[in-house]
Chain A
Amino acid sequence: MSAILLFAYPVLAILFCLFITSRRRMDLLIVLHALLHSGLGIHAFVNRGSLLSMDDLGLFIYLILSVLYSAIAFYRLGSQDSSAIKDYRIHTMFLMIFVMAMDGATIAKDLGLIWIFVEATTISSAMLISYSNRKSSLEAAWKYLFICSVGIALAFAGILLLVIAQAGEATLLISRIDVSKLSPFWLKISFVFILIGFGTKIGLAPLHFWLPDAHSEAPAPISALLSGALLNIALIPILRVDKLMQQSGMAALAKELYLLMGFISVFIAAVFVLKTKDYKRLLAYSSVENMGLIMIAFGAGGMAHYAAYLHILGHSLIKAAFFLTAGNALLIYQDKNHENIRGMLSTNKTSAWLWLLSSVMIIGLPPSPLFTSKFLIATALLSNGSYLLFGLLMLLLAIISWGIIRIGLSMCLGESERKKSLSMWVYLAPAGLLLIAAMIGIFLPILD
């Protein structure tokens, strides 16, 4: 029943969109969708196993999506949009399709179905990225579509290899796959393809090229969803296949690959955080870094396995808040170059404080939940005896933190004559997300 609601509402709302001409009503449709989404999520949380018997991993990612979607639904109420009503309608419709595709990926258990839904998220979100119709955003959308298509094709090759790995009758329903009959040889190759393929979509280096452009060109609420929700969605298939790797006794190989991709990502992020002048690109590179950290956490194993999930949660909330705040900065200055922005504290105090808070929390100072997760990752690396990796990671993280804080301070401090106020919603949405993240950081679930 709840599953029917989850998909029927957006389908009806999309049809309804075709007949309405008021922006407010379209915004309202999105808010209702977000509330319904959250409501069903809470219902599924209380009655585990409802909502098409979603498992814990799916539910976890689904709930993060619920929170972010609600935040951006309210944020949109306050963002000033001057585009034509026709474009706005298409944007609204594709936003709902995008969320539906992500829901599908969290609920599906069949790897083939998950793959289809991830493919659908690519197509629908490309429409959202190219929204402003500027040359640069069209090119970003093209780059995103193309690189992710290549990734998705490679992931499909991986899925085919998983089919070949099963002698005789094959299935893609992970829980039904008989591990004892899996050929380890083919499983290994299949896993590499799936990791690289979906890794492209997660934004792991060296296949992250699409990410900075797409996140920088998309409107703020979409960047928030891309970074906070979509990257997690692409993690789902990898984690599901990871289970097969563990059951077949090849967890060590998987971990090495995670560590490798994770470290390359953090390294690339550290290099480009120092280079970039566009503050939305800065946040995008920070996403590459955090996704890399999540992979490192899975690679380090042990205690860090818990840290990985905590990091997914914390990063999603804080990064979404950060992107929404970046949207505020863009509303105020109409400029994405951080060097042209000074004295945000006197121009718009609330946005400046949100920016500073987001900066502090994304680099992982308490009460950010990222503090705990990074601490656990570091501990796990040390207890594994990987001192060199630990040292390298600390160095890279220090560089990235410096880059983020430096730009944050230079944008917020200084003198400025300008004054500009924005709607209440654009403060409430990011503030709410940061508050939730801080609460999680303070009242952290007790480790067992």
Chain B
Amino acid sequence: MMEFLVVVFGLSLLWASVTNMLGTIIKILVFQGVILFAITLLKTTQLNWISFSFIALETLIFKAILIPWFIDDTIKHNRIRREVEASVSNFFSLALMSLIFVLSFALSASAPVWTAEVSPLEFGIAFATILKGIFIIIANKKLITHLMGYLIMENGIFLLSLSAGSHLPYIVSLGVSLDLMLSVLIAVLFIKRIRSTFDDAESPHSLKEE
């Protein structure tokens, strides 16, 4: 069951590579949130119930409902064009995603020892997700897509932290604090209303230099 969920999670990355629509990426985020929730449910035996319920609620409410809803709402209110203008084509993006998978699995296959709790499959997918998130951040110019890239990267880190959690339980809660960081990011956008960041025009103040 666990393997199945992880593989489906990995497939969502391929889905993310072939879409140009912001709406679809939001759906992918919801999808990933739900899968992470399910994976957390399967890990019940490894966590005590307080941290378990905290993390389960966090994945479901925060990752699968609140954040996607917020981004969707922002897109509607600011009339952002629903198409992502990535600087690379879908084909390239898909090819690169495959390459990322190859790289991640090559890495997990070449690892000398695996403990029972961390499986090469989980690690490979988690690692690929992190790289995919970084790639989305680099390849896009709009801040709203940067945010989505960050979210996907964070989902990958969360998956990795669930794997590592059996060694050191409190590390999973530490990972949740990344979501706190994300809330601050979103709050800044929301409260301060940095208009230009939502402009449809390419932001001149993207993450590039001067």
A residues whose Cβ falls under 8 Å from a Cβ of B = 112, 115-116, 119, 122-123, 126, 130, 135, 138-139, 141-143, 145-147, 149-150, 152-154, 156-157, 159-161, 163-164, 166-172, 183, 185-186, 189, 209, 212, 272, 275-276
Contact = CB atoms under 8 A, between A and B. Distances in A.
Contacts of A160: 157, 160-161, 163-164, 171, 175
Interface string B20-60: 00000000000000000000000000000000000000000
B189 A153 contact: no
A169 B166 CA distance: 9
Contacts of B177: 116, 119
Contacts of A275: 210
Main SS at interface, chain B: helix
B7 to A, nearest CB: 20
Contacts of A166: 167
B150 A163 contact: no
Contacts of A119: 177, 181
A172 B188 contact: no
A170 B166 CA distance: 9
Interface string B133-154: 0100100000100100010011
Q: What 6 A-B pairs are tightest by C-beta distance, nearest first?
A: A170-B167, A163-B164, A170-B168, A160-B164, A139-B205, A160-B160
A135 to B, nearest CB: 7
B11 interface: no
A135 B210 CA distance: 15
A142 B197 contact: yes
B1 interface: no
Interface stretch (B61-69, B74-82, B87-95, B111-119): B111-119
Interface in B167-201: 167-168, 170-171, 174-175, 177-178, 181-182, 184-185, 188-189, 192, 194, 196-197
Contact of A126 (B146, B157, B188): B188
Nearest to B156: A157
B187 to A, nearest CB: 10
Contacts, number: 115
A156 B178 contact: yes
A143 B205 contact: yes
Given A150-B134, A183-B113, A145 B150 contact: no
A185 B209 CA distance: 35
Contacts of B171: 112, 159-160, 163, 172
28 contacts: A130-B188, A135-B194, A139-B194, A139-B196, A142-B143, A142-B189, A142-B194, A145-B188, A149-B178, A149-B181, A149-B182, A152-B178, A153-B150, A153-B157, A153-B178, A156-B178, A157-B130, A159-B171, A160-B161, A160-B171, A163-B164, A164-B118, A164-B164, A167-B113, A185-B111, A209-B209, A212-B210, A272-B209
A433 B22 CA distance: 51
Interface of B: 107, 110-113, 115, 118, 123, 130, 134, 137, 143, 146, 150, 153-154, 157, 160-161, 163-164, 167-168, 170-171, 174-175, 177-178, 181-182, 184-185, 188-189, 192, 194, 196-197, 205, 207-210
B153 A150 contact: yes
Contacts of B164: 160, 163-164, 170
B112 A183 contact: yes
A173 B98 CA distance: 37
Contacts of B181: 119, 122-123, 149, 152-153
Contacts of B143: 142, 146
Contacts of B115: 164, 167-168
A168 B188 CA distance: 41
B185 to A, nearest CB: 6
A123 B130 contact: no
A166 B164 CA distance: 10
Given A156-B174, A160-B161, A141 B167 contact: no
A321 B175 CA distance: 37
Contacts of A167: 113, 115
B208 A209 contact: yes
Contacts of B184: 123, 126, 145
A157 B157 contact: yes
A430 to B, nearest CB: 27
Contact of B188 (A142, A150, A156, A272): A142
